[in-house]
Structures are given as structure tokens and as C-alpha cells.
A and B are shown apart, each in its own frame.
Chain A
Amino acid sequence: MIRRSFLGAVRLGQHRVLPGIPQVLPRLSPTSAFGSSTDSLVSRFCPEKTDLKDYALPNASWCPDMLNLYQEFLEKTKTDGWVKLPSFKSNRDHIQGLKLPFGLAVASDKSDWRIFTRCIQEEGQGYEYVIFFHPSKKKSICLFQPGPYLEGPPGFAHGGSLAALMDETFSKTAYLAGEGLFTVSLNIRFKNLIPVGSVAVLNIDVEKIEDQKLYMSCIAQSRDQQTVYAKSSGVFLQLQLEEESSQ
């Protein structure tokens, strides 16, 4: 019901009242449950050559724990099938050549729009993070080092900053695992605060894909797994992007 009424609202535009009659879904791919396979999504998402700046790379602000974990996972990209995801300034850069379905696409996207988790570009001040994805296991690992501009309680990261990064990691995982696009729900149980400048490791699993929704769970812990920072679950709605029509 949520899906139908959501898409119904989408067809009419953002500010109109919900219609009483459920709307027809956008066209589905006839071959599989949903469009592209994970492998093709991953290869499109991770271009071999690009001029775009990748923010998910080590810099001088990364603490030793962050660097060590990064190296560990970089090794796994060679041997265990993990993929390091690039992180560009805007989601639009991630979906080049694709666009949102009719009714959702925004006509003009100003060049200075930025994805929230890359809003603070000074090294080390805001979000320092990198996501590794495993296509066949449908798992993600996110290494997160919060900077001083993400403070909530003095010396600790704002709860909202962790919530946002969980949503972002869910979002990338959902997209690559099954073309998940929009957050339907987010449920977070906070246990402990993350000290600014330390590393939190987020483990995400796709639990199931059902009824055009992806269900995922996440646990955020310290590197040694002795401290659990938060546990969460997220549900994303599948929506197929369209090829930008050639003009």
C-alpha cells in the first residue's frame, strides 16, 4: 500500500494530495524481478577511468586505525571478491547516463549541489568514510571516522551523523544489490557514543528482497568489536532508473 500510494504521489508531483485510486507502477523489466544484475550495476557504478574526484581515499586526516582497516580491505578486494566503492561529490555523478523515472526527475540540477555525506569537504573535519561492497554476499562494510564538525555531545559524534551514514551505506548497498532507491524506513537503536576522530566499522547485510523492497540490517562497532555503537535496520524501495534519452 505504501509503495502504491508513494508512486501515485510521485506521478502527480510532490505537493499534491494522495489520490484515492492506486496508480500503476512504472514499467517493470519483463525478464527478471527487477532490471539489472548486481554485477552490471557494480561495473557501471565503479568506472575504471574517471575525472571525478573520489573522496573515499586515504588522506592526511585518517587515523592509524582507519588506515590499517583500509589496507586490510584493499587486500580483500584482490582476493576475496570485495569491491571498493568510489564516492563522488554528488549522486548524479554516480548515475551518469541514467535518470530518475518521469515525474521524479528534477529539471535543473545546479552544479554546486552535494551529497549530504560529502557536504564538508575540509579534510578530516566532517565525514571520512569508505564503503566496501561484496556483490555475491550482498554485504557492505563502511569505515567511518567522524570529524569535529559532526559533534553532538562534546567530543562525540552527533547521533544524526551516524544515522545519516547508515542511511547512505544502506542506500549504496540497496542500489547495487537490487536497484533500491528510496528509503522507506530507518530504525536505529543507539547504544554508545562514537568519540570524534575514532573509527567505527559498519557491517551491513541484505536480509531479504521482497515485494519490491530491500530489507537490510546494520551494526556499528569499534574496530576491536568490544563496543557496539548502534544497531539499525533499513527498508528501501526498488525503483528502476531510466537511460537518459539521446537527443
Chain B
Amino acid sequence: MFVRSIALILLLFIHDAFCHNNKNILRGIQSSLLSMYIPSKPFTCLDGTISIPFEFVNDDYCDCRDGSDEPGTSACPNGQFFCENKGYVGITIPSHFVGDGVCDCCDGSDEYENEIICNNTCFELAKKTNEERERRRLLHEQGVAKKNEMIAKAGSIRIERKNRLEELEEQLKRLETDLNEKEELKRQAEEPETAHKDKHQKAWEEERAIRELARRDEQMQDMFNDLDTNQDKLVSIKELQVHTELDNDKENDFTDEEVKTILGADSVTLDEFNSTVFEQISNSYQKITQSVTNEQVSTTESNKATPEPSTEEDHGISDEEKREHSVDDDAHDKNDMDDNLDDIDTKDDIDQPTSLDHTKHVHDDTAPDFDDETKKFIQIADQARNDFKDAEKKVRDVKKEIEDLQKRAEMNLGEHDEFSIMYDQCYDYEEREYTYRVCMFKSAVQIPKGGGSEVTIGYWESWGSEPNKYSVMKYTNGVSCWNGPSRSLTIHLRCGIENRAIDVREPTKCEYAMIFETPAVCDENIGAKLSHQDTHTEF
């Protein structure tokens, strides 16, 4: 930047030729540019900006902003030095490499003034380069042969896939017909099954309703008898008033008025009690004689904060309540958990023993088994259901296979499908601490050798970007790193005879890089490219 401004300023002031004697005035100039450097004429910087006396060329002072006046010295920060490199390839290096003590040209011409002597390595380098070129040519040739095999296999895979797809479509049709049949059979079998089960259920419910009624009546009579302390077959205000637990507002005393509101009269007979009073009080009612015990129980229970079923172990009443409830429910009903919880909640809200101690009288009545006929119908229906499920699964499996094959058909597996045979194949790379396994077009994992669980380092994402799209594979969205990004893997593909991972690194934490050799990226034009290079080589 600075030097550029200086160059600009110098433009204003160029006169008397500066006498400068340099034997190697044309040092570092590319042969194609030699015509621009004519010792008898002023030199015009190659960017055309200024002209300078020719003596300023390679005089170890930078005059041109493009550095073109000093190809053979280190004076310009942006100049270009040309090494002839006889016996090898002529190359251009930054002119600030001139005279820095580092041998950059194989002919050592960049260090012409330096004490260190650079050996001329051009011949060796040419030999090595040729060998390397030959090795590459061979590798690519062999690789391309393999690659063609891979492409050919991809073709047969494609045909196989097509055939298989057709086969599967056929199969699917058949299976779907079968499925429809099985569904009809299932429906037919389930009709009588349902009818018989309903019948059985109805009978049982009726039976249970009768039992329930009897139970209620028993409870009602018990309660009436309990209340009718003077046994005059009437329950009076006085008799009911002692049951303060029935006082709804709890704010004042249980007044005559309030009691009368419940009874609807000064006293009630058994029938009246049955029809108007019992329902009102049955939930809150407590038997006087048991009050002490109940209080104790209530104390125990109020200490338990959570309505866990286990807390009821030491609470006989609740236990029974639960049992009774399960009886009430359909034995198969899986929703009873909710109901149970509701009940427990309710009980907790009240937080007092209730009239449910009457349930002591309840019989242990589970639903009876289905009769033999019903059982037979169930068995037939079960069979039909199973058959239907099997048919369903077959359809599903075939559909899945079709889907997979279609997905694979749509997958970009290389320009000529050359990666096709690698689809689903897994390759391992063994490192000191880990095995890295990449399953192509699926995912990649890191498996610790010392035990421990494997970690997904990426799922197939995409190919790289143009122009060498198919030389890079990206696997992303692996398991997140602590304090870092999601793990990811980039695979760099190189020509090789076999498909194999040859290196895995982690240049940045959790961002892995694999080098993978495969014939799929071997270049069929390598020979042409290498010989094209030859024409530019000056031997």
C-alpha cells in the first residue's frame, strides 16, 4: 500500500537517466515477456502506468506499482520472478522470495546473491515428477477400469431394481386384494362375537343393577335405623341434628332450620326418608359410634401429602373403596387408572371418612366368565383378526421395499451412477483410539476402541459443490458437541483401486475430515491431461 503511493508520486519526477550497471539486468523475466524489456528503450511498467529509464529495471528499487520493473530482485512486494529451471518446468514465484535464503527454484536462481548455495535439483525433480505422473497415470487407468465395472454393475443394479419394482408392484396388487378379503372375513367373524359378548354383558349388568339396588336399600335402612335413635319409626329434627357433619355451611351451628330443610318436614318416615333425604346425606353421613376411630384414621391420613396408592395400604377403608370400584368397572377397561385417581382426589378433598364404610356389606362380585358359545365366537374372530394383521404387514413390507427402491433410484449416485454399488455399504477406518465407520449415503459413526457407546458424527447430506461436486461427500447433523456445533464429516474422495477410507482427522473439534479412495473418482481423461501438461514442460 505504502509502496504504491510512493510509486505514484515518482511518476511526477522522472528525468536524467540513472547510471546503473547490472550484468543480469534481464534476470527473472519470463521468456514470453522478454520482448517488453528492451535495454535501449525506456521501460513501460506492464500495467501501462508509467515509463522509466531502462536502468531502473532490476536496480533493486521498486518503481512500478505492479512490480514489473523488479522481476529479478526482492524490491517490489508484488513482483514475479521467473525461474528457468532447466531440465524441469519453468515456474513463476513471488519476487519477494528472491534472496531470502529459501531455495524456491530447483535451479537455485532465486538465491543468486545469497551465501547459501542451493543445489540444482531440477533433474531429480523432473525424474520424480515423471515417476509420479506415471504412477498417477497407471493408478487412474486401473481405477477407471474398476470404475467402468462399477458403472456396469450400477446398470445391472438398475435393471434388477426395475425388475424387482415391477415384481413388487404385482405382488402389492395381489396382497392388497388379499388384505381386502381378510378384512371382510374379520368383519364377518366379529359380528356374532360382538352380539354374544353384548348379550353376556347386558345380562350381567342387569344382575348387577339388582344387586346395587338391594345394597342401596340396605344402606338406607341401616342409616334410618341408626338415625331413629328413639325407634319411633320416624327420623326427627332432633335425631338428625346431632350429625353436624351434614351441615353444609359449617359456619354456624346446625340449626333447626337447616335440618328441616334437609328433612323437608319435622320428621320423616322410612319411605319419606328413602325418597327425599337419603340421597342428600348419604355422601356426608357418619355413623356416630365410629367417630372416634374415624378421627384417628383421618389424622393418620392427613399426614400423607401425596395421594399415592401405597399410602392406602394402612388405610382399610380406602383399600376397600378401591376394590369396590374395580368391581364396578369393566374388568378390561384400562381407563380405570384415571377413575381411581379421581376417587382418591375426591376422598382427599373431603379428608374425612364417609358413609362408604357401608360398603362393608358389598358382595365380592366379579363378572362371570363368558359362556362356551361366546368363547367359541371370540376364538374365531381372534383368528380372523390375526390373519388380517398378517396381510396388513405384508402390504406394508412391500410398500416399504418399493419406497426404498424408488428412493434409491432417485438418489444422485454419481454422474454415471458410479457410486451405486457403494450404496448402503459400510467402510471402517481404524485409528488409535477410534474406529470410524461410514455407511455410504446413510450415516457415519465414531466407535471408541476402549468401549463406550458409538457416536453418530453425521447423516448423509449432499455432494460437494461444482466443479468437483463428486469429489466431496458431506455428512451433517451428528450428535451435538458439548460447547460446540453438531458433529459433521466431510469425505474427500480420491482415485484408488479399492473403496477404502485411508485417513480420518478432526481439524476442528467435532468437524471430521475423511480421505476415501475409490475408483469412482478416477479420471478417464488423466492421460490426456498429463500429456497436455507435457507440452508445457521445458525439458
Indicate whether A and B interact.
no
* Residues of chain B whose beta carbon lies under 8 Å from any beta carbon of chain A: none
